[in-house]
Amino acid sequence: MSAPHSSRPSPGHPSPEGPRSTAGPRETTEGTVYTVTGGDWDEVVAGAAKADDERIIVNMGPQHPSTHGVLRLILEIDGETVTEARCGIGYLHTGIEKNLEYRNWTQGSTFVTRMDYLTPFFNEVGYCLGVERLLGIEDQIPERASVIRVMLMELNRISSHLVYAATGGMELGAITVMFTGFRDRELILDLFELITGLRMNHAYVRPGGLAQDLPPGAVDQVSAFVKRMRKHLPEYDKLATGNPIFKGRTQNVGYLDLSGCMALGITGPILRAAGLPHDLRKAQPYCGYENYEFDIPTADTCDAYGRFVIRLEEMRQSLRIVEQCLERLRPGPVMVADKKIAWPAQLALGPDGLGNSLDHIKNIMGTSMEALIHHFKLVTEGFRVPAGQVYTAIESPKGELGVHVVSDGGTRPYRVHFRDPSFTNLQAVAAMCEGGQVADVIVAVASIDPVMGGVDR
């Protein structure tokens, strides 16, 4: 009989090997009970008890506003100075990677889009690129589908950076920046809702292409947004970039130089703020990024201020790419031609907006009995992916998003593992915060811009 676990050793069964060990089992009327100690927290408390100074251990989060409800920062402080900082994660664990092993390859998009919930399109594209490489159909993806993928990713990059600017400003007391950031993000979510039907968790990018084509009016709406956003971006310069109070709170705070970034595997704006112009869209192009003109902004400040300036410039570059996408859109399919892989991509809804229209059902059922049988098997069972493994990487707003996909030749993934940039970048918390002030911890963590849905997944 399996037994419950206790978070602390019982008085009669202390752990003989220190805070990390497991005490011996004991039999009870309910079965065998194993007692496990408290892990890191017991270690920290025991160490603090032996110290001669007046250092104390405090928890910042997971309820603290700056940790956004799901990140725990364990700080050892001496007065207002942070002498040790470590992260406690796992409060938002969803088991997405494990769930993927019980769904077919197309259903995987529905799961991965929910990891870093601020960058759903990047999760979907990274996953689908891995599946498409295993299938050997990378060169068969329609041009229109690739252009739409790029356009949505760059709009998503802007929306992610806007949340960073809004929440980061709020944590510093710049409430106007928060209002402005969420105001502009709302415009992008409206576009996502128009194109995919949902504001978040879209599952719009599928292996082989897209769930459906752009709806009528989408191109005009995106074009209007680009013009509107260009007018709004200078507001962030006025509110934050040139604001002496904002600069005083962010300059030389959360310092991490290039050697530190390389040692910890840090990527994205943090790395580029240390002076290295590394961007996978240029270094290892995917989805046709080699055909787009854009710059990679860098800075040499290695601090929170530089990371803000870089993200602001990245939004401008993303607008450039979106404009080029609109120019490149040509009529054509949005799903691979191979009917053994392609899910229906020309969907038509019924008058209630919920079910398939009669014309759509007639098109599926009226073609041929073989086509109907094949459609049924494709949707219920899924397609088979040749055995093998691949690693694909894309440049998400937070850094390198890597996807390791393993297939055993079946209709479901054998293993899918994500290298989420937020998880890797959080390693920098200690390097950025130790030796600084408690108030600067909030600035440093905000400059990392972690999203715990991607960290814990």
Asked if residue 380 belongs to a domain, the reply is yes
Cα-Cα-Cα-Cα torsion 328, 332, 335, 336, nearest 10 degrees, comes to: -100
- Same structural domain, 103 and 8: no
- Same structural domain, 182 and 266: yes
Asked if residue 81 belongs to a domain, the reply is no
- Same structural domain, 45 and 100: no
Cα Rg, the chain, nearest whole Å: 25
- Same structural domain, 137 and 16: no
- Same structural domain, 268 and 392: yes
pLDDT score for 363: 72
Of residues 207, 114, 266, the one with CA closest to residue 405: 207
Per-residue pLDDT in tens (0 to 9) along the chain, 457 residues: 444 443 444 444 444 444 444 456 778 887 787 665 556 667 766 766 666 567 788 888 776 666 666 888 888 888 888 888 888 888 888 899 999 999 999 989 999 999 988 999 999 999 999 999 999 999 999 999 999 999 999 999 999 999 999 988 888 888 898 899 999 999 999 999 999 888 999 989 999 999 888 988 999 999 999 999 999 999 988 888 888 888 888 889 889 999 999 999 999 999 999 999 999 999 999 999 999 999 999 999 989 999 999 999 999 999 999 999 999 999 998 888 887 888 765 666 666 666 666 776 777 777 777 777 777 888 888 889 999 999 999 999 999 999 999 999 999 999 999 999 999 999 999 899 888 888 888 889 889 888 888 888 8
- Same structural domain, 196 and 282: yes
Is 0.75 surpassed by the pTM of this model? Answer: yes
Cα-Cα-Cα-Cα torsion 386, 389, 394, 400, nearest 10 degrees, comes to: 160
- Which CATH number do you get for residue 394? 1.10.645.10
- Same structural domain, 120 and 44: no
Asked if residue 70 belongs to a domain, the reply is no
Domain enclosing residue 159, as ranges: 96-345+358-456
Asked if residue 411 belongs to a domain, the reply is yes
- Same structural domain, 115 and 200: yes
- Same structural domain, 283 and 162: yes
- Name the DSSP letter for residue 100: G
- Same structural domain, 294 and 377: yes
For residue 433, give the 3-state DSSP assignment: helix
pLDDT score for 11: 42
Asked if residue 90 belongs to a domain, the reply is no
- Same structural domain, 125 and 229: yes
Segment holding 107, helix H or strand E: none
Domain count, the chain: 2
- Name the DSSP letter for residue 331: S
Asked if residue 68 belongs to a domain, the reply is no
Asked if residue 71 belongs to a domain, the reply is no
Of residues 307, 315, 359, 367, the one with CA closest to residue 339: 367
DSSP 187-216: HHHHHHHHHHS-SS----EETTEESSPPPT
Of residues 127, 180, 111, 119, the one with CA closest to residue 154: 119
Token duo for residue 105: 């390859």
Residue 453 makes CB contacts below 8 A (sequence gap 6+) with 92, 94, 114, 115, 116, 117
Asked if residue 351 belongs to a domain, the reply is no
